[in-house]
A and B are shown apart, each in its own frame.
Chain A
Amino acid sequence: MYPQSGLLYVKSIRGRRFLLLFAVLSCLRGRNGGKTGPPVSESQEDPDLIAAFLSGNERGFDLLVLRYQDRVFNVCYRLLGDYEESLDAAQDTFVKVFRGLKKFRGDAGFSTWLYRIAVNTCKSRLSSVQFRLSKRALSLEGGRGTEDCGAPLEVENGSFLPERMLERREREEAVQHAISALPGDWKTLVVLRDIEGLSYEEIASATGKNIGTVKSKLSRARRKLREKLKDKV
């Protein structure tokens, strides 16, 4: 693409400055295109992988995805309560990371920044009309993709599952339902703290709230959730 652009330019100005332009374009290609940059490995820390990615080695980004895909996907799943939606939101999160990594200043940890993007992505989905409409349809695929049961849970075929597993599945669904019923902010705090195990500082950074607000809102959210679970579980 670049050499072609260069040729067009040469034609229009009859060869003048061709060499200079070609040199500039070659430099640009060298910087952005291809998988150059330092080699990376799975054992490297986040900042090293980010640095590698920014200097042209996209493998750095791939390793970040592999490292965090589970966590991001689970956060999305707990916030949205729907497998397909969560999958979409988690992918969206990483696409945003890919495009925005240049702007990442490293003030907070990469994971915190990543959680922040994931939470915001889910929030905008939760408020979208499309999502609300789709939630009207009852999905029976609650357990899809979980570790011990790859097949979707079907009510008619419940008898195939061992009783205990079915009970556990029902209990999990009840918990997920109770979490989903919490208002947006509360839900986010419960998921980040009690399921993902983030510290108050990390949650404050990921949600853009101060620690005191996080603590007080979380406390109220937990109380509400406990009440709901007492009835359901």
Chain B
Amino acid sequence: MKCAEIRLLLEDYEDGLLDERTAALVEEHLAACEACSAELEEIRTYKKELLSLERVKPPDDFLQRVRERIERPPGWKRFLGILSGAGGVRMPLQLAGFAVAAIAVVFVFNVIRPDMQKRPGALRKDAVTEKRMEGPAEKAVRPEVREKDEAEAEATPGADLEKSGTGIPEKAEAEVPTEAHRKEETVPAEEPVKAEAVFPPEETERKMESAPVLQTAAGSEVLTVMLAVYPAAREGEAGRADFRARKSLPVSGDRVSDLCTNDERDESEEMSPAGPEDDTLDAIEYGVRDLSGTVLSSDENRMLIEVPADRVGDLFALLEKYGKTSKPDFDPMGLEKVRISIMLVGRE
């Protein structure tokens, strides 16, 4: 097994979750590989650090506090009590109910109104104001809106006003439509990065760094395939150019290590901080399960999976959903299962 595969197994090895045969393979590799041994040591230090965290002690009267809270009437009853006894003047329950209804009406209006403002008409009216009110938090919870808006912006050069109204970017404030700005957006092929200027910097960087490389191994026969998968939403000239710039596609029988040196692998790993929001691996993972496959292990930017050999074709079809893939010259005949390692690498 290669270093990349071994490293995916190290945590399970340390937890004692590997079967004997795999554990022996890991040990054999560790004896000969300093880098992997160092990684194992790092894992051990990490575990020790977390296990040595001091236990925080609850107060001695914890149970009593829980008891008091249980005996306290529920929040809505207390609320009614406050209403009916407000200012020392007791109200009849009906009046309290009426007050609650009135508060509910006010609440509903306050909740509904902002939604109404988000409709396209309202957006045009208050584009700049809305944009200032909604900050990065709004962006973080509504990625699908961003992508949709971005697609619209690419299709319709004049759509940037609506886009800015959904509170997308910090930069958008400076991008209230001008002729110059529109010109920039109409030439995505030559200026692909400018079209992405609406993303916050990390977001843009992350979006640009989602090209997984796939290597396939089956039993003792190692069949290697490299696949560049582009995020579907970003499939454009920039992505294709980058794909072409990669190494030429391999033929079956090659090993990843033959095609990609250690230095390149390390560099690519550093360049792809596939964060928690990057759900390419998650999406592939769910798809793999649908194909009766198993995710053996995975980390931040790599995933080791095993799929039945007769589902390999379906797997490539699945990957194609997430971008462009090169179909390998691969015949799974005679094999029961195929082991595949997917790696996210940087694209710049």
CB within 8 Å for A213 and B285 given contacts A65-B63, A229-B46: yes
- Residues of chain A within 8 A (CB-CB) of B300 are 219-220, 223-224
Nearest CB of A to B114, in Å:
14
Interface residues in B166-197 by Cβ distance below 8 A to A read none
Is B57 in contact with A70, judged by CB distance below 8 angstroms?
yes
Please name all residues of chain B whose beta carbon is closer than 8 Å to the beta carbon of A147 when the two chains form the complex. 54-55, 57
* A169 smallest CB distance to B (angstroms): 9
Nearest CB on B from A11, distance (A) = 22
Which of these binds chain B: A49-57, A82-90, A103-111, A154-162? A82-90
- Asked if B28 lies at the interface with its beta carbon under 8 angstroms from chain A, I say no
Chain A residues with a Cβ closer than 8 Å to the other chain, count: 48
Shortest distance from the beta carbon of A61 to any chain B beta carbon, whole Å: 9
The distance from the CB of A222 to the nearest CB of chain B, in whole angstroms, is 7
A-B contacts counted at CB < 8 A amount to: 115
- How many Å from the CB of A64 to the closest CB on chain B? 10
A215 to B49, Cβ gap below 8 A?
no
Cβ-defined contact, B289 with A212, below 8 A = yes
Within 8 A of A (CB), among B288-325: 289, 294-295, 297-300, 303
Question: CB distance A146 to B56 under 8 Å?
Answer: yes
Q: A145 to B46, Cβ gap below 8 A?
A: no
Say yes or no: A91 contacts B298, CB within 8 Å: no
**A219 in contact with B11 (CB, 8 Å):** yes
Residues of chain A within 8 A of B56, CB atoms compared: 73-74, 77, 83, 86, 145-146
Q: Is A10 at the interface (CB under 8 A from chain B)?
A: no
- CB of B107 within 8 Å of the partner chain: no
- Bound-state CA distance A225–B298 (Å) is 15
CB distance A220 to B298 under 8 Å? yes
User: Which residues of chain A are within 8 angstroms of B49 by Cβ–Cβ distance?
Assistant: 171, 175, 229, 233
| Cβ contact of A194, chosen from B47, B298, B303, cutoff 8 A | B47
Most buried by A among B46, B58, B298, B300: B58
Complex: A78 Cα to B51 Cα, angstroms: 12
Q: Is the CB of B51 within 8 A of A195?
A: yes
B 45-85 binary contact with A (CB < 8 Å = 1; else 0): 01101110111111100110111011000000000000000
A145-B285 contact in complex given A212-B294, A219-B299, C-beta closer than 8 Å? no
In-complex Cβ contact of B70 among A74, A98, A172, A230 (8 A)? A98
Question: What residues on B are CB-neighbors of A90 within 8 Å?
Answer: 58, 62
Chain A residues, Cβ within 8 Å of B42: 226, 230
Task: Evaluate whether A74 and B55 lie within 8 angstroms (CB atoms) in the complex, with A91-B69, A224-B300 already known.
Answer: yes
A46 to B216, CA, bound (A): 48
A180 at the interface (CB under 8 A from B): no
Q: A212 near B69 (CB under 8 angstroms)?
A: no
| Residue A66 lies at the interface, judged by CB distance under 8 Å to chain B | yes
Interface residue? A94 (CB, 8 A): yes
Residues of A close to B58: CB separation below 8 A: 69-70, 73, 87, 90, 145
Option from A91, A99, A225, A233 in Cβ contact (under 8 Å) with B65:
A91
A190 within 8 A of B: yes
Determine whether A186 belongs to the interface, using a CB cutoff of 8 Å to chain B.
Answer: yes
| Docked-complex contact B70 and A62, CB < 8 angstroms | no
The smallest C-beta distance from B40 to any residue of chain A, in angstroms, reads 12
Cβ-defined contact, B50 with A94, below 8 A:
no
Contact residues in A for B70 (Cβ distance below 8 Å) = 95, 98-99
Closest to B67 in A: A62
Docked-complex contact B66 and A65, CB < 8 angstroms:
yes
**Is A12 interfacial (CB-CB < 8 Å)?**
no
Chain A residues contacting B299 (CB-CB under 8 Å) are 216, 219-220, 222-223
Interface residue A208 (Cβ < 8 Å from any Cβ of B): no
Residue among B50, B63, B289 making CB contact with A62, cutoff 8 Å? B63
Q: Encode A194-233 as 1/0 by CB contact (under 8 A) with B.
A: 1100000000000000101101100110111110011001
Contacts of B63 in A (CB 8 A): 62, 65-66, 69
Is A34 an interface residue, CB under 8 A from the partner? no
Known: A73-B56, A91-B69, A172-B54. 12 other contacts (CB 8 A): A69-B63, A94-B66, A95-B69, A147-B54, A147-B57, A183-B276, A185-B276, A194-B50, A219-B299, A220-B276, A222-B299, A224-B300
Q: Which 10 A-B pairs have the closest CB atoms?
A: A216-B298, A73-B58, A183-B276, A194-B50, A220-B300, A212-B295, A219-B299, A94-B66, A77-B56, A223-B300
